[in-house]
Amino acid sequence: MNKKYRKIATVLAIVVAVTSGFVGATVAAGETSDGAGGLDYEGSDPDRSCQEVSYMVRPGDTLYQVCRDYNVSLGQLMRANNLKSTVIYPNQRLIIPAASVSAFGMVLSRGDVSRDDIELLARLIHAEARGESFEGKVAVGAVIINRLASSDFPKNIRDVILENNNRVYQFSPVQDGSINLKPDEESTKAALEALMGRDPTGGALFFYNPVVATDKWIKTLPVVTRIGNHVFATKV
């Protein structure tokens, strides 16, 4: 399995475990077992009374930002780490109270996704799939994630979304500027779902609305599925 998919699958497993309360887990922005930087997951004793999620501080981080990302109060975070002040340092490991872990914080913990990546993906989903069902929004996000695993596309979220050929962008919202619209809450949630591995398309690399699409080539691609107004396709 591709390294990126292994990490995504691990994140999804941890989210299910932590939110269900079935097993203990430790999450850290360190080294994975396959050597790739990102998420570390260690199964723990099921008899433990709580689960621990830890975050490795990066340059530029503030304690207040960590609180916002993980939906935890400043007091809770300081008590969990026995902090006497709000000053934190790069490479410092912070314990996040498990009950406070949000999907946003969990994705950031993976180490290969930034806040800007999440926001850009949410903006694309909002621009492309306004009016679509939640599943349709997740599906649009999944296409971006699927492209990361393909040798035919760039290897980071920003470059995939902003890719252009002879000044023609891959996604029309980038071309017409609608990608700059502020995403709604549902689009942000859809972005997080896609980043955590949910893929309603079954591996699609392209999507289009057959009613408005003018590109004849894209309509020749093998169709994987249809969700709402979008057709999802893969390469020949």
CATH superfamily of 115-233: Cell wall hydrolase SleB, domain 1 (1.10.10.2520)
**Which pLDDT score, from 0 to 100, does residue 191 have?**
96
Bridge partner list, 25: 43
pLDDT band at 13 (very low <50, low <70, confident <90, very high): very low
> Is residue 183's pLDDT more than 80?
yes
The residues, ordered by sequence, that sit 6+ positions from 46 with a Cβ below 8 Å of its Cβ are 22, 23, 24
List the Cα angle 30/185/225 in 5-degree steps: 85
| Residue 48: other Cβ atoms inside 10 A | 11
Average pLDDT, the chain: 80
**Which pLDDT score, from 0 to 100, does residue 34 have?**
35
Ranges for all domains in the chain classified under CATH 3.10.350.10? 53-101
Structure tokens at 101: 């872990």
Structure tokens at 149: 């695993």
CATH superfamily of 53-101: LysM domain (3.10.350.10)
CA-closest candidate to residue 160, choices 135, 178, 140, 177: 140
Query: Using one digit for the tens of pLDDT, what is the confidence trace for 78-121?
Result: 999 999 999 999 999 999 887 777 888 878 877 789 999 999 99
pTM, full prediction: 0.67
Q: Report the pLDDT averaged over residues 222-226.
A: 97
Distance of CA 187 to the CA centre of its chain: 12
Ranges for all domains in the chain classified under CATH 1.10.10.2520? 115-233
Tell me if residue 106 falls in helix, strand or coil. Answer: helix
Of the CA atoms within 13 Å of residue 138, those in its CB half-sphere come to 17
Structure tokens at 130: 């306004």
